[in-house]
Each structure stands twice: as C-alpha cells, then as structure tokens.
Structure 1
Amino acid sequence: MTDPIADFLTRIRNAVKAGHKVVDIPGSKMKREMTKILKEKGYILNYKFEQDGVRSNIKIALKYHPETKAPAIRTLTRVSKPGLRRYTNVEDMPRVLNGLGIAILSTSLGVMSDKEARQKNVGGEVLCYVY
C-alpha cells in the first residue's frame, strides 16, 4: 500500500455509502490521531483501538441522523498526496465550506484541525477535508 491515509479515508467513505454502522481499519499513529479529530468534531459516534500482538486495528462507529439516516460525513477528500504534497502556512490556511467543514493538518505540533492550527499559529501539510 503506497498511501495508507487515502486507504483510511476510502474505507470510511465506502462504509458510509454502503450504510454500515462500524468499519475496521488497520491502525497507525497518524490514523489514530485523525480518528480522534473526527470524534472531537462530531463526525463519528465512537472509536476503539485494538492491539493484538504486532498489529493494531481501529474500529470506528459511524454517525447517522436518527430520523433521516443521513450520514454525518458527506465528503472526505484527500488533499496532500504522495506524488504532490500540499503545505500551507497560517495566513493561507484553507476554509472548508466557508467554516462548516474541517481540514486535518499534520503540523510540527502533531495532527490537528485547521481551527486548532490557526489558534496555535502553526502551518503544515493539509491531509484532507471533511464535511
């Protein structure tokens, strides 16, 4: 696998389109941090990190509207790819859907959302957009 973050996003995107309640994803530190951000911002219900020997796994409970069954995650877009990295500074930080969505960034202070990065006055690599 050449791009594990794209695989992470694609698994979530496919599970949402299929209407699944839970999705299993092979774990890594970057994916754990991205999962925590998705939970903090209200895009997923819950998550669970499982460790069996060397392998780690992430179980994510997807969030849907109780009446309309519409998913909380409408779009997941990979921005920075292995072939073309996208970096931004604080002044040029992207606003996703005019502030209604989030951008997940990998900064020198760790993985965080665009709002946190603006508060801490730090830029970095734009991993993905979520809305």
Structure 2
Amino acid sequence: MDKIANLISSLKNATMAGKSSVETGLFKQGKEILEVFKSKGLIKGLKVFKDEESGFKGMHIDLVDLNGAVRKLETVRLSKPGRRVYSDFKKLLKVKNGLGVLVVSTSRGMMGGEEARKKKLGGELICKAHFI
C-alpha cells in the first residue's frame, strides 16, 4: 500500500469535489509533504489529531479557497514503489514555471524543489503539485 499515493489522491479528489477540508491518516512522510505544501500556499492549514476512543491518529487538512470556492489542486506522484525517480540539484524541474511545487526527499528531509536547488541537494522526487 502506497500511503503517499493515497494522500495525494485524497487531496485531488477533495478539491475536485469542492470540499473545504479533508482528513487522512497520520504518517511522517505525509506530514512533511503537507508542510511543504502549506509553506508554498497549496493548502491553508494542517492539524494533527488523535481520536481518544479509537486511538486513530490523523491529519485535518484545510484546502485553499478563492471567493468561497475551493481551488482545484493537481497532484502527481513521481517516484513510486516500483520505480524510484532521483535527480541531482542541477536537474530539478520547475513546476508550471515556478507556480507549483516539486517535493524532494533529500538527506536533510523533505523540501520544495527551489529550496533543494538553493541548498544544492538532490534526492528522490516524491510528487509535484499546482493549482489548475
């Protein structure tokens, strides 16, 4: 089971359905990806919660809205369990001429493509996202 792909499809499906928020299970890589999205303005908020009765730990994600309508978010998983994709910092691609974000897993944690380029760090290309 690919948790990152599930997270990405949950975000995409929620924006396409016009939902203002979505909840998903908590896992370390997912939280780091969403923190990169939040820093780039692709999501509005991120809250971690724990259900006391069931012990379920999850994340509540607030999506960006524009004049009351949720902005549609296009997300694509690049590196998959069966085919890992790596890149050095010189070849990190820009998403929609800098309007989107590329999430890279480096030796210093998850970060956006621009930040990885500035720090001269390459790594595994996790996903890319931009508004439609």
Asked if TM exceeds 0.5, the reply is yes
Aligned mates of 1:99, 1:47 — CA distance in 2? 23
Q: Which amino acid counterpart does residue 90 of structure 2 have in structure 1? A: E
Distance 2:50 2:74 in 1: 29
Kindly, what percent of the aligned residue pairs are identical? Answer: 34
What is the letter of the counterpart of residue 63 of structure 2?
L
Q: Secondary structure at the match of 1:84?
A: coil
- Count the aligned residue pairs: 128
Distance 1:39 1:102 in 2: 11
In the alignment, residue 59 of structure 1 is paired with which amino acid?
A: H
Q: Distance in 1 between matches of 2:99 and 2:12?
A: 19
Alignment match, 2:16: 17
- Does residue 63 of the first structure (1) align with residue 48 of the second (2)? no
Structure with the bigger percentage of strand? 2
What does residue 50 of structure 1 align with? Answer: 49
- Consecutive unaligned residues in structure 1, runs of 5 or more: none
**Pairs within 5 Å for 1:46-125:** 46-52=45-51, 55-66=56-67, 69=69, 71=71, 73-125=72-124
TM-score relative to the length of structure 2:
0.91
Q: CA RMSD in A?
A: 1.4
Aligned to 1:27: 26
Aligned counterparts of 1:92 and 1:56: Cα–Cα separation in 2: 37
Cα deviation for residue 74 of structure 1 reads: 2.9
Query: Which sections of structure 2, spanning at least 5 residues, go unmatched?
Result: none
> Counterparts of 1:40 and 1:109 in 2: how far apart (Å)?
17
In the alignment, is the contact (CA less than 8 A) between 2:50 and 2:57 conserved in 1? yes
**Deviations 1:25-71, CA, capped at 9 Å, x for gaps:** 1011111111111111111111101134654200001112116x250
Distance 2:77 2:11 in 1: 12
Distance in structure 2 (CA, Å) of the matches to 1:26 and 1:78: 18
